[in-house]
Structure 1
């Protein structure tokens, strides 16, 4: 039973590259040396995340002549009305990484967003709730979920927030409903405590 039942509650921690590394990448400028770009007016930080499509793992699809395409899109996320946040489900993209970069500036009131992640249990091929974590990211940080990483759909905090998103999908060409996105519903809610923010209905 260990790892099969989610905890009753967890507390969200500040996002750091080190803490998030098992689940994916934090997209931000780095303190490491950077390349010079734009005739010396900019610094370029290379290879801060990996965007992948795991085609080698897709063995049960018939229509391989129509591979997944990168989908660059925008998500406009409404803020959660209540905090602490009642988590009811997780999802994963089995074959693709997925990155989110916030585009709503602080002057519009958007200070951060909530990221909930969980590794996969390879034996059950389900979330391993022993690895369930929650992070608060600022609107100057993007995140990149590794392919197959379980996560909650994006949760904006306090303000409507736009995100630039990149993911590989087959969408209309998919052969199974969960080919692009698989969902796992929790038997009981897990409460995510978030310090320093209020639900949108409380503002």
Structure 2
């Protein structure tokens, strides 16, 4: 049986069970650099016990909707942040942490939005919408298996939003 999911706009409130939406909102927490820069401080929880935080660059191929999701993955040893550097919206597919994924949800980001996935949150692969995208990825680097994959037995289709 096919599972159909309609993506919704990415908001901090809706995404909170899965992670943090990283974006500039409201007044800066502090003004720095001789008054020329507003700092929006500590917008995501980079979470890991051992190892170190690494910064990697990803080149991701575009997808369009509707699209089929074949698998989700999770990272038991640390959080993972995706920061778009090309301004391309992305489809964010997530499910609650657990041995197997809970119900699938999908979100569409807007330019200026990034995400930080909580440790163990099931998520789809990096998916820029309609054109290729480049991303800074901040995650745990170190020993141990930090990748668990779950392949779906039935198709999961992310539909075009209404």
The TM tier, using the shorter chain, reads: over 0.9
> Paired residue for 1:147?
119
Q: What TM-score, normalized to structure 1?
A: 0.75
Q: List per-residue Cα deviations over 1:122-170 (Å, max 9, x = no partner).
A: xxx22122xx210000231100000110000111111110000110022
In the alignment, is the contact (CA less than 8 A) between 1:103 and 1:139 conserved in 2?
no
> Paired residue for 2:102?
128
Within 5 A, what are the aligned runs for 1:1-203? 8-32=3-27, 34-53=29-48, 55=49, 67-80=50-63, 82-105=64-87, 110=88, 112-121=89-98, 125-129=99-103, 132-170=104-142, 173-174=143-144, 179-195=145-161
> Paired residue for 1:64?
none
Return 5+ residue gaps in structure 1 as ranges: 1-5, 56-66, 197-203
Alignment size in residue pairs: 162
Q: Deviating runs (4+, > 3 A) in structure 1? A: none
Matches of 2:69 and 2:125, distance apart in 1: 10
In the alignment, is the contact (CA less than 8 A) between 1:116 and 1:151 conserved in 2?
yes
Matches of 1:120 and 1:148, distance apart in 2: 5
What RMSD, in angstroms, separates the aligned Cα atoms of the two structures?
1.8
Matches of 1:10 and 1:86, distance apart in 2: 10
Structure of larger gyration radius = 1
Return 5+ residue gaps in structure 2 as ranges: none
In the alignment, is the contact (CA less than 8 A) between 1:24 and 1:143 conserved in 2?
yes
